[in-house]
Structure formats: structure tokens, C-alpha cells
Amino acid sequence: MSEQNKVELYARDARFERARLGFLDHRIVDLSDSYEILEPDEPLDLRAYGRILRKRLPTILIVFFLVFTVGLIATLKEKPIYRAQVLLEIQKENPDIPTIKDLYELESVSDSYLKTQYSILASESVARQVIDQLHLDTLPEFNRPKWWQLGKRLSLPRKQTFALDPVRSGQDPEVYQRVLERFQGRLTIDPVSRSRLVNVRFDSNDAQLSARIANTLAENYIDQNLDARWKATQKATDWLSQQLVGVKAKLEKSEEQLQDYAQRNGLVFRETDKGTSENVANERLQQLQEELTKAQAERYEKEAVYRLVQAGDYGSLPGVVENKLIQDLSERLAELKRQFADLSTKFNPEYPRVKEIQSQINEIEATLKEERQRVADKIANEYLAAVRRESLVKQALDEQQKQVNLIAEKAVQYNILKREVDTNRQLYEGLLQRLKEAGVSASLKASNIRIVDSATPPARPAKPEIPLNLAVTTLLGLGLGISAAFLQERLDDTLKGADDVERLFGLPALALIPAVHHLNGNGPSVRRLLDHSKLLRSRQNGTASNTCACWHRIDQGGLCIAFHSRPSPGFIAHHQYAAWRRENHRRHQFGYFPRAARPARLTRRRRPSLPFPAKTLLHPREPRLG
């Protein structure tokens, strides 16, 4: 170690007033290589950010005024855009003819159907109809090429294209496609939430044109919807007509098979009031069953009366009680018997009047007997007739039952053929009804889409929104200005004070010595200004800090002395005491502690810029004591 590169270190000793500890090598450090300083994490300091913003205020203002000026010029030069709006209502699709119930019934529209209609509104087919109808491809607003396409159209040869979409004669497909893209780019479909309404908006540089395009688009959309429904109805009608011919032939064939089978097997059926066919044999069997029931009931009734006749109880017979002649004869007989009894008490039996009355009584009794016998014979005959009738009906029922059983075996195949005929008839009638309804629906122009509010030319442009653009430009300018300020501060790697030294090397400063280049000489004022022993003697800087450092100039030669320490029991106090005991300011003492931490970690990436000569920076390696 040379004499000019070492600084003596002193400490107080018990035997000596001052003892030399060693030397500190402050040779020039080679900083030709780049280093990166790994800084420790520091807490957020809002005041530091505020100082950065105040320091970089010119940068912020320059960037802000540049962005604001560009935004203002762009806003003022932008062409006004007018927005026209049409309000449409999309109801539920109903292909059938509405009934009274349908008119008063509220039905919801499915989301899938609404989304389909929204897609149709924004489709190319509707846009092409509007473009062709209003000749929008001839307007510069739509057919003007974009700026990046001008050079391409001039330099490249035009390719032969085969357009799949219908384009008017003489129209360039590329130009037409550009017009179509611009048309769709200016069209906006905005459904109203939770409703069947949809807003159709169109932007244009002309207010009248925007309203006209919006109304034309809505009308063409409705016409296209009607045309699509009409075409669908026509296709359905043609399909139904073809199907109807086949079903009719099938129905006729099945009816012929059914009739032929019935004739070959002797099956006779008739149509009932309910529209169904019924077998005659079954109907006859049912009638015989009813007749047998009636015959049995009648026979039971006649048999009861006949039992009375057999018992001789003529007085209770229904025919006797109801016979007027028998009633009159019975009354006359009773009167004659009363007269005969009166005369018998007065006259003997030979008396002529008595004989006459007796003769009348005998005659009336004979007549009553004959009449009663006649009634009894009638009851007996009626009973026998009822028994005979019951027997005949029962016999006929048995024969009919056998015939019905035989017919039932043959009716199995008949019923199969009959069901086929009924199915074909129902299918034929259904197709015929649908064909009639389709014809009626095709003749009616009923659309489920209507225009609620037509578009009117807007009074004021929708774009540009000058207040909004200026507000956005202001925010953007401030944001870019602040970002530029922080970026400039980030790229500035020079050391500007003790704070930067502490941040880079992780060592707090013991004292700050201002540079007084305008003071010359060694007068008392200069010495007082450069006397920082009080800072070194302060208890806070000497004992409270874990690590301390001091950078100050000694003379114009550029020699700097650094004092740095790390807490160690008694060792720091020992060296600080040696510093406090320093009387001659021409000698400068340094306290160095072995195994002290390096002031900062240096890697070979970024080279810090220091405001003082490089030879004053401590060497990264630990120096050896003299």
C-alpha cells in the first residue's frame, strides 16, 4: 500500500492517548465494467412521487398539450355523423289464420326466434336490397376506397373475380363488397331488453339519407319476411297437393278392398247417427235380446194372473174387476137377492113374485158364471201365448247368436281393413283442410312485424361528441404526460443527493456537507461552513443508526473520506471517541470494522453515475488493515 493511498486509523488506548489501528486503502476503483445495484424494497412514499411530478412538470405539460392539440384538431376535422332510428315490434310468428281466442291471448316470443330476427335484420340480403334500391354504391360516402387501398389499386393488376352474389351489371365486385361492408358497419341493431321491440339505427354523413336508409331497411325487412312466409306457404301448398293425390289413391284402394271383402263374406254394415258403422247381425242380436226380455216380463205377468184363475179367485182377476158387464150383473144380482129375502119372509116359495125373482137370480148367476169363465179362458190363452212367444224369441236369439259368432270371425279382417280406411280418410281430410288453410293464408298479407316509430332526419349529429372527445383527450394527455414523467425519472440514473446514495448503497448518511464553490480562501466563515463535527458528534447519528456513512470533500484535489460503521459492542463507541478527540482538522480519521457489510451489491449490468470522482468510491472488496 503506497503512502498516498492510505489513511491512518486511530483509536484511544488505555496506555496511550492515541493508538494507530491501521490504514484504509482508498485507491482508485476501476468502474470500467457496468454494475447493477439491487435496491431493497422501500415503502411507498407519496411525497417522493409528488416531488417527481413537480420536477417533471414541463414534460407533463408538453405531452399534455401535444395530445390535447392533436385530439382537438382531429375532433374539429371529423365529419358530422347523423344517426336515424326505427323502432320495430316483432310478434310471435303465427302461420295459421288467427281466431278470436288467438286475438285475445297473450303469448311470449322465444329468445331464439328474436335472435334469429335480429340476425336477419343485419344480414347481407337485406343490406343488398337497400343498396340496390337506393343506389348507395354510387355515393362517395360508401364507395370511396380506403387510404391504404389506393396504392394497391394503382400498383396491382386487377384479378378476374367470379362473384357468387348478384351484382348489377357493370359494377365492380370489390367496390360493391366495400359498399356492403361500410353499410353493415354503420348499421346497429339494439334490442330493447325484456320486450319485443328492437331499435334499428343507421349512421350517415347526411341526415336525410340516414333516415331514408333506416326506413327503407325496415320496409325491406318486413317485405322479405312476408315474401319468405309466402314462399314457405307456396312450398307447403305444392307439397300438400302432391301428398293429397297419393293419399286419395290409397284411400280409394282401401275402400275397394273393404267393400269386396264384405260382399264375399256376406257382411252388412250400416252407418249410425254417431258416424260409425255397425254390423246388422249385431244389431239384430241386440233387438232379439230386448224382445226376449220383454217376452219374459210379459210371461211373468200373465203367469201370475193365470195362477189366480187356477185357484178360483175370480174376484181378484184384473179382467173381472175391470169388466163393466160383470159389475152390472153383480149389482143386479145383489138387488134381486135382497128382494127375494124380503118376500121370503112374507110369502112362501110358491108365491109367483117369489118364483119370478128366483128365476131372475138363477139367470143372472148363470150369466155371471159364463162371463167369468170367458175372462178366465182369456187369461189362460194370454198366458199360453206369452209362454209361446218367449220360447220363440229365445229360439231366434240362439240362432242369431250363432250367426253373430260366425260373422265375428269374419269381421276381424274386416275391422283391419276398416281401420285402414278410416286412417286414410282422416289423413286425406286433414291434408285437404291444411291445403285450404294454406291457400287462404297465401292470399292474406299478414305480417307479425310492424313499424312502431319511423325514422326522422335527426336535428343534430350524433358524432363527434366534442365534450366527450375533449374529456377523453384531457385524460389521455394527463395519463401520457405523467407516464412520460415517471419514465424520464426512471431512465435518469444519476445521483442527485444523499437520498440516492442511501437508496443505492443501503447506508444512511451521517452528515451532509454542502458544496460552496463560490467561497474562496480559508477564512473563518469557510471553516465554520465546512465544520461538521457536531453532526459527527450527535448521539443520534453515532449510536442510533445501525449503519452510517458520510461523504464530504477535503480539498480541491478531489479526495473524499467515507466513515461507515456497523454496530458491534464497544467497538463503535471506541472509534467514535477517537473521532471526537480529533483536534487537528488536517488529519481525518476513519473507523473501519472488519467483516463489515458492503455498501451495496453490484452486478455487471448497469453503471451508476456519481457526482464525485470515482477514486473516492470504496472498493467492493474488503480492504486490509495496515
Cell numbers standing for residue 457: 332526419
**Amino acid code (one letter) for 517:** H
Classify 188 as helix, strand or coil.
Answer: strand
> For residue 140, is the peptide bond before it cis, meaning its omega torsion is within 30 degrees of 0?
no
Does one domain contain both 72 and 217? yes
438 and 581 inside one domain: no
Same domain for 385 and 328:
yes
Q: Are residues 162 and 189 in the same domain?
A: yes
Q: Does 10 fall in a domain?
A: yes
- Residue 509's CB: how many other CB atoms inside 10 A? 18
Assigned C-alpha cell, 295: 217376452
DSSP assignment string, 72-133: HHHHHHSPPBEEEEEEEEE-----SPP-HHHHH---PPPHHHHHHHHHHHTSHHHHHHHHHH
Check residue 308 and give its pLDDT: 72
Judgement on whether residues 407 and 453 belong to the same structural domain of the protein: no
Q: Note the pLDDT of residue 332.
A: 77
Do both 432 and 544 map to the same domain? no
pTM, to two decimals: 0.46
> Residue 111: which domain range?
68-238+447-466
- 313 and 376 part of one domain: yes
Q: Does any domain span residue 495? A: no
Task: Tell me how far apart the alpha carbons of residues 199 and 192 are, in angstroms, rounded to a whole number.
Answer: 7
The pLDDT score that the predictor gives to residue 517 is 52
Q: What is the CATH number of the domain that holds 154?
A: 3.30.1890
Q: Has residue 257 been placed in a domain? A: no
Q: Same domain, yes or no, for 302 and 436?
A: yes
What are the angstrom distances between the C-alpha of 416 and each of 54, 114, 412?
Answer: 103, 48, 6
| 321 domain-assigned | yes
Last residue of a domain, one of 443, 474, 496: 443
Specify the amino acid at residue 566. R
Tell me, yes or no, whether 459 and 537 share the same domain. no
On whether both 437 and 577 belong to a single domain, the answer is no
Cα(143)–Cα(470) distance, rounded to whole angstroms? 31
Residues 32 and 73 in one domain: no
Is residue 97 in some structural domain? yes
Residue 135 lies inside a defined structural domain of this protein:
yes
Residue 250 lies in a domain: no
Which pLDDT value is given to residue 21?
A: 42
Q: How many domains does the chain have?
A: 3
Asked if residue 107 belongs to a domain, the reply is yes
Regarding whether 199 and 168 lie in a shared domain, the answer is yes
- 10-residue mean pLDDT profile of the chain (626 residues): values are 47 43 44 46 73 87 90 82 90 58 57 88 91 89 66 46 44 84 91 90 90 92 86 81 86 86 75 64 81 86 75 61 67 79 77 79 78 77 86 86 78 82 86 77 70 88 80 90 88 72 68 57 48 45 42 43 46 51 44 42 42 37 38
